[in-house]
């Protein structure tokens, strides 16, 4: 039963990934720039969180 | 046409508009009042106790901020007929979609725990053990969705919104000076002591409680589930504006009450504030405790639904409150699972509840900017939004608000992560 559940979930996730493979929004310069800034922001934030986590472990 | 005929015509037109408004109202009021959740109530009590009424003007400014952000979700939901999670997947692809969904689920679950912490703390004032409180909440939340009708759920949620206004009589009971309220509400100024780190932290905390990621997902999905169309957008906007006014009124009332009764007393928990007020006025202390319970309950109801809707949209499950449990089993299973998990954590002896509360702020900081940027980009997509695309002025206002909210909420998240960062 558990195996079935995981198999079904895995298949569903693959289906979702396929369905939303290509972004539907028009990738204008403005959209690309915003998404790039967002990526940089999130990487910085995750870096700070990792730093905090590692400094707590020390 | 004589004057009586004209008056009658106007009356009929107003009456029809009012009926239409009452039919479409709900999502905006609910999301805005639920925004004053257990965490929000704690922030307002702490603000009032520390700075009295000096920050009332700031709270008033936050009303339009919340309105402009949430109003965009009304338009997006009514035009696309899609919830926020599905809209992000569709527009920005699977990577951003999964990031938003998983971050939302994590943030919502942690926030739900804080709601349960607030509710158990509130009822502990009346000597009700946490186990009983959690079970009562599960029963109420389960019963609300068991009817299989969005309308019934909405009416019960609006009733809880009405109970949230319980703080208003408390403000009259402390006999505040109208002159002080008028001055502090209309003249922007810093409290005595000037601009300090503590003030900065509280200002950021107030902004953090005004716009939360779950609110965007909740209102858009709610608009879709209610079946609002483009023609209903104007009523959706009024609904959101009324909600914004209510949320500001509740926040102001709490600040006034705590500013008068707890001025200068360090407060970091609304339940503690209610206990401290009890010796001065048992009625006001009781009102604050009841209001805190109601705020936590309303918050938990909306937050768990935001996650369930988001999962349902992406996984393609039936995900409407108009479906019964048999028609939408996964949607309701996730809702119940979320509630059970969050409630159980609060009952675990020695669970790191303070750490969880702090972690909510940090993790929400990673989702909020993404959700807001996606919102602005979606509202500028002419292909999707058609005539409801953001106008130039809407963009100027919304981008300014979003930039400010991102900057301040990031600073809030960072100052939670690194407490001495802005010293």
Give the distance from residue B91's alpha carbon to the nearest chain A alpha carbon, in angstroms: 5
Length of chain A: 58
Query: A34, B377: Cβ pair inside 8 Å?
Result: yes
Query: Average pLDDT for residues B171-185, to the nearest whole number?
Result: 83
B54 contacts B264 by C-beta, under 8 angstroms: no
Give the tens place of pLDDT for each residue, B228-254.
Answer: 888 889 999 999 999 999 999 999 999
Give the tokens for residue B200: 């900065």
Give the tens place of pLDDT for each residue, A10-24.
Answer: 888 898 888 888 888
B404 contacts B64 by C-beta, under 8 angstroms: no
Partners of residue B378 in chain A, C-beta under 8 Å = 25
CA pair distance B403, A4, nearest whole angstrom: 46
A6 touches chain B (CB under 8 A): no
Partners of residue A49 in chain B, C-beta under 8 Å = 362, 417
B147: DSSP letter:
T
- Residue B318 has what pLDDT? 81
Partners of residue A21 in chain B, C-beta under 8 Å = 93-94
Query: A45, B418: Cβ pair inside 8 Å?
Result: no
Query: B90, A21: Cβ pair inside 8 Å?
Result: no
Q: Is the pLDDT of residue A5 over 80?
A: no
Distance of CA B206 to the CA centre of its chain: 12
CA pair distance B423, B415, nearest whole angstrom: 10
Of A16, A45, A52, the CB nearest to B365: A45
Query: B381, A26: Cβ pair inside 8 Å?
Result: yes
Query: B92, A25: Cβ pair inside 8 Å?
Result: yes
Q: How many CB pairs under 8 A join A and B?
A: 62
Q: In which region does residue A57 sit, left (phi positive, over 0), alpha (psi from -120 to 50) or beta (all else)?
A: alpha
- Average pLDDT, whole number, for chain A? 82
A12 touches chain B (CB under 8 A): yes
Q: Is the pLDDT of residue B53 over 70?
A: yes
Give the distance from residue B314's alpha carbon to the nearest chain A alpha carbon, in angstroms: 7
Q: So what's the ipTM on this one? A: 0.84
Query: A26, B414: Cβ pair inside 8 Å?
Result: no
Partners of residue B384 in chain A, C-beta under 8 Å = 24-25
Partners of residue A25 in chain B, C-beta under 8 Å = 91-92, 377-378, 381, 383-384
With CA atoms as reference, the chain A residue closest to B86 would be A20
- Residue B357 has what pLDDT? 67
Give the distance from residue A47's alpha carbon to the nearest chain B alpha carbon, in angstroms: 12
Give the distance from residue B421's alpha carbon to the nearest chain A alpha carbon, in angstroms: 12
- Residue A55 has what pLDDT? 76
Give the tens place of pLDDT for each residue, B250-300.
Answer: 999 999 998 888 887 887 778 888 888 888 888 988 999 999 999 999 999
B300 contacts B145 by C-beta, under 8 angstroms: no
Question: Hunting for tokens 């299989």 — which residue is that?
Answer: B148
A11 touches chain B (CB under 8 A): no
Q: Is the pLDDT of residue B1 over 70?
A: no
Of A20, A23, A42, the CB nearest to B370: A42
């Amino acid at each position: 039963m558990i195996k079935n559940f995981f198999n079904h979930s895995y298949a569903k996730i693959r289906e979702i990934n396929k369905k939303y493979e290509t972004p539907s929004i028009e990738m204008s310069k403005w959209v690309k720039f915003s998404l790039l800034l967002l990526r940089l922001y999130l990487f910085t934030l995750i870096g700070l969180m990792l730093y905090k986590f590692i400094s707590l472990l020390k | 046409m004589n004057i009586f005929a004209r008056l009658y015509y106007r009356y009929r037109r107003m009456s029809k508009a009012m009926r239409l408004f009452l039919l479409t109202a709900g999502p905006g009021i609910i999301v805005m009042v639920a925004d004053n959740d257990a965490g929000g109530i704690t922030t307002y009590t702490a603000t009032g106790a520390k700075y009295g009424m000096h920050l009332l003007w700031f709270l008033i400014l936050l009303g339009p901020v919340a309105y402009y952000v949430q109003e965009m979700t009304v338009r997006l939901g009514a035009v696309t007929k899609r919830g926020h999670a599905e809209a992000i997947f569709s527009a920005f692809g699977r990577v951003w979609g999964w990031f938003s969904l998983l971050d939302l689920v994590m943030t919502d679950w942690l926030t739900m725990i804080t709601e349960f912490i607030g509710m158990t703390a509130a009822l502990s004032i009346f000597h009700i053990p946490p186990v009983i409180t959690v079970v009562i909440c599960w029963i109420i939340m389960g019963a609300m969705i068991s009817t299989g009708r969005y309308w019934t759920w909405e009416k019960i949620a609006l009733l809880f919104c009405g109970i949230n206004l319980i703080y208003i009589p408390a403000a009259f009971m402390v006999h505040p000076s109208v002159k002080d309220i008028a001055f502090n509400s209309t003249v922007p100024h810093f409290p005595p002591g000037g601009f300090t780190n503590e003030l900065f932290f509280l200002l950021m905390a107030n902004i953090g409680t005004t716009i939360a990621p779950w609110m965007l997902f909740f209102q858009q999905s709610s608009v879709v589930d209610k079946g609002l169309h483009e023609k209903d957008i104007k009523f959706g906007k009024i609904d959101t504006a009324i909600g914004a006014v209510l949320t500001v009124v509740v926040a102001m009332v709490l600040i006034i009450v705590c500013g008068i009764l707890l001025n200068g007393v360090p407060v970091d928990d609304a339940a503690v504030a209610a206990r401290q007020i009890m010796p001065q006025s048992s009625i006001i202390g009781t009102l604050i405790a009841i209001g805190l319970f109601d705020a936590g309950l309303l918050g938990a109801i909306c937050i768990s639904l935001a996650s369930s809707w988001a999962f349902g949209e992406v996984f393609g499950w039936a995900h409407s409150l108009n479906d019964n449990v048999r028609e939408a089993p996964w949607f309701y299973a996730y809702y119940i699972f979320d509630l059970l998990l969050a409630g159980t954590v609060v009952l675990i002896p020695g669970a790191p509840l303070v750490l969880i509360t702090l972690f909510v702020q940090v993790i929400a900081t990673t989702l909020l900017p993404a959700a807001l940027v996606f919102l602005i980009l979606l509202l500028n997509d002419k292909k999707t939004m058609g005539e409801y695309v953001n106008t130039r002025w809407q963009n100027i206002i919304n981008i300014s608000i979003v930039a400010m909210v991102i900057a301040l909420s990031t600073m809030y998240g960072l100052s939670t992560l690194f407490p001495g960062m802005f010293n």
